[in-house]
Amino acid sequence: MKVSGILAAAACLTSIASAAPLELWGHHGQSNNLVKGKSFDRFLFVVFENAGYNQVIVDPNFAGLTDRPDARLLTNLYAVGKPSLPNYFATIAGSTFGVRDDAEHNLGGMTIVDLLEAKGVSWKELPLCSQGTCYLGATDVYANGTAVKSSYRRVDNPFVSFINLQNNPNRCDKIVNAKEFEQDIANGTLPQFIYYIPNLKNNAHDTSVAYGGNYVKTFWNKYLHDKALMKNTLAFFTFDEDEDTEHNHIFGALIGGAVSVKPGSPKNVTDNTPYTLFSMPKTIEDNWNLGSLGTNDTFATPFKL
């Protein structure tokens, strides 16, 4: 554990509110050794929790994510398991590994990281708030061992469930506190694959869809409307599962310069193609010609851009 104690935990919980104004995107977002993709050069994933499509689409802030020409509302997107954890695994490994719980798992499979690194595509996972690189505790804790409420759960941090990340210090160094997102923007050093995990209040798990939507408005909108940031970027905002129904119909929004637009293109364009969360790794693989994980990504439909 590299970061501990009351001050560190409190800093996690307040990092968004206390962040100083910064120059969006730094040096036009061009990190060293940029690997060009077919449709996008950067992929940003932000995931919320436990609400179905019909609950989310009526929230003005989530619905507003696609109120722009360079966006698509995915109206036929489905999670692949219950509860949360198997869906997180699906986004990075194309498989649920048969997991049907939110327990701690240590898996031997591959993830999208294996494919990204083989092609030299930079990446980071940004949980808000983890206590350090490859921290394996179930929650954030204070110095006395008590859990920090509404902060972080290991179950929402899928990368640390894979042994080939746990045992690799270089990879562990890329699983960092989400406040580094703002630092990387200021420094112009954002990686090309960004997996961002809000805390349990902001992701709507401990609060509500309205609370999560307000977080989108107050934290994310300034970035999503920065032209330099979103150029050649694909952002994917979604939910991990529909907690209340069996069919697992979830909200999904694709945003950014990677979304095809023409002069005069309308706002609020919908895509009714059937997708699942397995479509996420498939889209990334196709974009950078990464090959396949050999799991459900092989047969998944990539997002239309």
How do residues 195-244 score in pLDDT, each as one tens digit?
A: 999 999 999 999 999 999 999 999 999 999 999 999 999 999 999 999 88
- Residue 81 reports pLDDT greater than 50: yes
pLDDT at site 22: 33
CA 201, 216, 49, 99 torsion: positive or negative?
A: negative
pTM over 0.85: yes
Tell me how far apart the alpha carbons of residues 111 and 94 are, in angstroms, rounded to a whole number.
8
Q: What pLDDT is recorded for position 33?
A: 85
Q: Is 206 a catalytic residue?
A: yes
pLDDT of residue 1: 40
Q: What is the DSSP letter of 298?
A: G
Classify burial at 186, counting beta carbons within 10 Å of its beta carbon; exposed 0-12, middle 13-18, buried 19 or more: middle
Lowest-pLDDT choice from 16-20, 30-34, 70-74, 96-100: 16-20
Statement: residue 102 has pLDDT above 90: no
Is residue 97 predicted with pLDDT exceeding 70? yes
pLDDT of 161 higher than 50: yes
For the chain, the structural domain boundaries read 5-19+36-298
- The residue among 19 and 257 whose pLDDT is bigger is 257
The catalytic position among 206, 240, 244, 297 is: 206
Give the pLDDT confidence score for residue 125 in this predicted structure. 94
**pLDDT score recorded for residue 279:** 99
pLDDT for 85 beyond 70:
yes
Q: Is it the case that residue 64 has pLDDT exceeding 60? A: yes
Question: Which pLDDT does position 103 carry in this prediction?
Answer: 87
The CA-based angle 121-124-180, given to 5 degrees, is 130
Helices (H), 137-196: 163-166, 169-172, 180-187
CATH code for the part of the protein at 5-19+36-298: 3.40.720.10
More confident position, 162 or 30: 162
* Amino acid 148: pLDDT: 72
What's the rounded mean pLDDT across residues 161-182? 93
What percentage of residues in the chain have a pLDDT greater than 90? Answer: 72
